[in-house]
Amino acid sequence: MSTATVTPAAPATTKLSQLEGLKKITKVVADTGDFESMRAYKPQDATTNPSLILQAATKAEYVHILDKVIADRKNTGLTGHAQIEDVTDHLLVAFGLEILKIVPGRVSTETDARLSFDTAGSIAKAHQLIALYEKNGISRDRVLIKIASTWEGIKAAEQLGKEGIHCNLTLLFSLAQAIACAEAKVQLISPFVGRILDWFKASTKKDYAPAEDPGVKSVTEIYNYYKNYGYKTEVMGASFRNKGEITELAGCDLLTISPALLGELAASAEPLPRKLDPATAAQACTLKQVHLDEKTFRFQLNEDAMATEKTAEGIRKFAADIVKFEQVIAGKL
């Protein structure tokens, strides 16, 4: 009878999901107004926009937030559009406050898209939103004010940054917009990967593999440019159409992802190699550093048909959703 000691087998190691693997190299952000999704996937930050808040505020499980804000703000003495605007601001912040109870990091709250070409108006709206957060005990370090990446929006963010109000420049589709944001020392940009893909698919009538996806290539170019030239502005890929776009940008500073795609990442145990890395950005960057004044920015943006069209379309869509939002509030009032 053998007396050899049998070493117990090591317990099987559980493979990390792609979501958990991604969290090790990229700050994962939830792109939703749905609280339960945030609790399920445990992102660091969350982003919202008027479309997402409109969807959430009209769902049965969240309508109590809208009802409470309206009850609280009904007797302010304001009337007409001023009252609706007041309720809208309070509702956006009310959702932000609930989100900040769930995520440990920051929430992005969007300004009115109708202010996209109004620097002073964007600054004033940011002041209003930040004041509401601070009144509720939230430090401005936990809030990103979302503003469209127009010249006027970038100038507003530049001024707000000097006041310690951090901004997320959204609806960004071009290197020109990204460079202008970096030179304005904007905190964070959100290049829209999926909407870039949408434009190219419609324009060329062809499909793209994730590595050749024009949106992926745009974010990669911006990321490498920023890291090579030492810009501190954070890059957060946004608006994804498929999981492949996300995995091709693994290693980006942040990625803001819808609940459906967070679910796909959580369900997959496929390998997730790092694709973007500050250590290799200098070798990957082939662009010379440029500096943009207003006229150069406007011309370069105008020369980029995709960026011009998608920025304008995005502003129109967000503005339309703000109007729908206001109609819901007006109906409740």
Who's near 89: CB < 8 A, 6+ residues apart? 125, 128, 129, 132
DSSP letter, residue 10? P
| Residue position matching structure tokens 């679910």 | 263
Catalytic residues: 146
Single-letter code of the amino acid located at 269: A
Q: Which helix (H) or strand (E) holds 100?
A: helix 80-100
Three-state SS for 196-241 is HHHHHHHHHCCCCCHHHCHHHHHHHHHHHHHHHHCCCCEEEEECCC
Please state, in angstroms and rounded to a whole number, the distance separating the CA atoms of residues 18 and 147.
31
Please state, in angstroms and rounded to a whole number, the distance separating the CA atoms of residues 86 and 224.
41
Which is nearest to 245 in space by CA: 220, 268, 280, 271?
Answer: 220
Sheet strands (E) in 151-203: 167-172, 188-191
Token code pair at residue 108: 């992005």
